[in-house]
Structure 1
Amino acid sequence: MKKCLAGLLAFSLVMVAGCGQSTVSQGNDSNTGQPTEKVVLKLGHALPVDHTVDLASKKFAEIVAEKSNGTIEVQVFPSSQLGNEKDMLEQISLGSQDMGVIVAGAYGTIFPKLQISSLVYVYRDMDHALKVMNGEIGKELTDELLKERQIRVLDPFWYYGTRHLTANKPVKTPDDLNGMKIRVPEVAIQKDGLSAMGAAATPVDFNELYTALSTGVVDGEENPVTTIDSSAFYEVQDYLMLTGHIIANFMISISDSVYQKLTPEQQQILMDAAKEAGKYNNEITIAAEEKVVNELKEKGMTIIEPEKEKFMPAGAAVAKKYEDIWGDLYDRIQSVK
């Protein structure tokens, strides 16, 4: 009977680890030599290995290990190994996945108010975005997310990138976009945003986008410059317009049921490490974007500085459509100085 129970326990621990949940194992404190329990947390994200968010996630794991003297281990699972972003959020909410670094717009699939992060021109610039998400409004949103979905945000703003427009003709004003088929992801608020900017917004699966551009199924697309470069869109697009219409961010979060099992000291370690790794992420992502714009120019793209002020009213126009979801949230964000 004892052997059977031991076998069942070992099997249960393997199953828990396989599902992305935390595990606890016995170890020794490096300073005192006394036995300690080691917490192992599994963190997932959707981006490939060595993407800036993957590097930042690994930096987070390093900081946690250092600050906890090795008593907390964060294991990073890139490339949607633990599921796509919506799946991971559902699992974190239920407590069957420990942690995730997930783009803020995806949180809108389970907490509709956070759709606003995918609204065109909701932020004036990076500084504005940081003030909003690190301030009263960001706290309000993350507190509601915690209350409604049991997901605790450790840091609300890891910079993902700024989305810009590409096409085979220059676009400087909304009139230039008239009639142009611009690919957008299958996200309603982004489709609404590009339509309000003047485009014929056309959803196309990302995996089919290069072919769609090369065959003329769509005339252009919009993405962060790092994605434009890594996907070789410069081979089939002549112009890069620095529209900066969406400033996208990740939020690093943990299942509250997992968080509550940690000691206050362990909780603080995770909070501090998330902030420190977030600063690292923002620095390397901004540096990568600046470098890539120059590289795209060298690869033959013409860089256009459009008249952004003529595109920006699109944000307010789309915001009215979603007022039943977020009330006066858009106006409050615009009032942040």
Structure 2
Amino acid sequence: MTATTRRSVVTTLAALAASPLLSLPAWAQTTTLKISHQFPGGTLTEGDFRDRMTRMFAAEVEKRSKGSLKFAIYPGSSLMKTNAQFSSMRKGALDMSLVPLSYAGGEVPEVNIGLMPGLVTSYEQAYGWKNAEVGKELNRILLEKGIVLVSWIWQAGGVASRTKPVVDPDDAKGMKIRGGSREMDLILKAAGAAVVSLPSNEIYAAMQTGAMEAALTSSTSLISFRLEEVSKALTTGRAGAYWFMFEPLMMSKAIFDKLTKEQQAAIMTVGAELEAFALKSAKEDDQAVANVYQKANAKVVDLNPAALKKWQAIARTTAWKDYGEKNANCAKLLALAEKTL
């Protein structure tokens, strides 16, 4: 190679190195993030609102990030098993998930506050947690555990049953029931029920075979998983509930921290904006679930204030007590949550 040729090559390489095409900032590069959830898949306008919300989130963040962030959505636990999602986010092996927080209670006891029977009894109280002391403390703990709360999503729930309506604690005696969390299971045991533990996407099969007689789950899941097909009775949460589940859209902190400030801002801003959609959709499903079950000829009843107080009284001496004794964080969270009652 001649000196002239060498100079030409060096000049060319220097020009390429300085080219804006090879020195794009992270903001201008495209990153695809995976969102996993256990709920049935749909579209932006049809289906389970939790799936719709992830799609709305993905579309809006992609727009605001000028295409630097894209998303692949995996509904129906198609990417990984439901109970593996939280742990995978903590390790940075999963980018994002919309999952009931209490499912991770065995790994992080503090998160069971997200399905503490009788501790939350209204949507106003539930969404008030975000800016209250209890919400700030929960957010701190989750960040410490490697999880970023992106959207606060709360849902009231009811009881689908193969046999009779479950309203008072006495109605649960002798029944095989799914509560959805350790704490919910504790009050069911105190009421004389035999508890069954499994994710909501496995309820249908268990009730179909008779392995389980009744299940507590969100109004949306009561619809989306077609539980009216295997139920003869429904207790709704539309008139009040002791079953309120926190199932936020979350992100791995390890992944979040790798994004630019602009991308992080887009994710958090859109996540907060979609909370209004989640609240509206959850309330609509509380009403819609009754219609779905009535059409299926199931007996539909509402939880009355007197029954709610009975469940709450059991919860105070069982689930709340057990949770508060887990560790200092749990005790603090419980005390802060009780301030919102």
Please tell me the TM-score bracket, short chain as reference. Answer: 0.7 to 0.9
Measure the CA separation in 2 of the matches of 1:211 and 1:94.
31
2:220 is the counterpart of 1:226 = yes
- Does structure 1 residue 93 correspond to structure 2 residue 90? yes
Q: What is the aligned counterpart of 2:159 among 151, 156, 164?
A: 164
State the partner residue of 1:44: 36
Kept in 2, the 8 Å contact 1:171–1:241? The answer is yes
* Corresponding position of 1:309: 309
From the superposition, tell whether residues 109 and 142 of structure 1 become closer, same or farther in structure 2 (CA, over 3 Å): farther
**Separation in 1, partners of 2:199, 2:104:** 20
Which residue of 1 is the match for residue 15 of structure 2? none
Residue in structure 2 matching 1:277, options 262, 274, 279: 274
Q: Specify the structure having the higher radius of gyration (Cα).
A: 2
| Letter matched to residue 145 of structure 1 | L
1:19-34 alignment to 2 at 5 Å? none
Query: Given the superposition, is the C-alpha separation of residues 65 and 27 from structure 1 closer, same or farther in structure 2, using an over 3 Å criterion?
Result: farther
Partner Cα separation in structure 2 for residue 85 and residue 211 of structure 1? 16
Indicate the larger mover: 168-177 or 250-259: 168-177
Distance 1:215 1:85 in 2: 21
Correspondence 1:115-134 to 2 at 5 A: 115-134=112-131
Change in Cα spacing, 1:294 to 1:319, as seen in structure 2 (3 Å) is same
| 2:190 aligned with 1:189 | no
SS in 1 for 2:28: strand
Amino acid of the structure 1 residue aligned with 2:29: E
SS of the aligned residue for 1:117 comes to helix
Contact 2:234 2:300 in 1 (8 A): yes
Give ranges in structure 1 of 5+ residues lacking alignment.
1-24, 30-34
Structure 2 unaligned blocks of 5 or more: 1-20, 43-47
Moved over 6 A (4+): 25-29, 204-208
In 1: Cα distance, 2:22 partner to 2:278 partner: 32
Q: Cα offset for 1:27? A: 11
Equivalent in 59, 73, 78 of residue 76 of structure 1 = 73
Following the alignment from structure 2 to structure 1, what is the Cα–Cα distance between the partners of residues 259 and 204?
Answer: 46
What's the offset of the Cα at 1:80? 2.0
1:10-21 correspondence to structure 2 within 5 Å:
none
Aligned CA distance change for structure 1 residues 233 and 75 (closer, same or farther; 3 Å): closer
Higher mean C-alpha deviation, range 119-128 or range 70-79: 70-79
Q: Which is strand-richer, 1 or 2?
A: 1
How much has 1:304 moved relative to structure 2? 1.8
- The alpha-carbon deviation at position 270 of structure 1 amounts to 0.8
Percent identity of paired positions between Structure 1 and Structure 2? 23
Query: Normalising by structure 1, what TM-score?
Result: 0.79
2:57/2:274 contact within 8 Å kept: yes
Structure 2 CA distance, aligned partners of 1:129 and 1:328? 17
Structure 2 counterpart SS, 1:153: strand
Structure 1 counterpart SS, 2:174 = coil
Partner of 1:152: 148
**1:240 & 1:171 partners in 2: Cα distance?**
8
Alignment correspondent of 1:324: 325
1:165: Cα distance to partner? 4.7
1:137 aligns with 2:134: yes
Shift of 1:209: 4.9
- Aligned residues between the structures: 305
Q: Aligned partners of 1:224 and 1:296: how far apart in 2?
A: 14
Answer whether contact 1:168 1:219 (CA < 8 A) is retained: yes
**2:10 aligned residue:** none
CA distance in 2, matches of 1:246, 1:210: 19
Indicate conservation of the 8 Å contact 2:57/2:270, yes or no: yes
The farther-off stretch of 309-318 and 191-200 is: 191-200
1:183–1:220 CA contact under 8 A, matched in 2: yes
Residue type at the aligned position of 1:315:
A
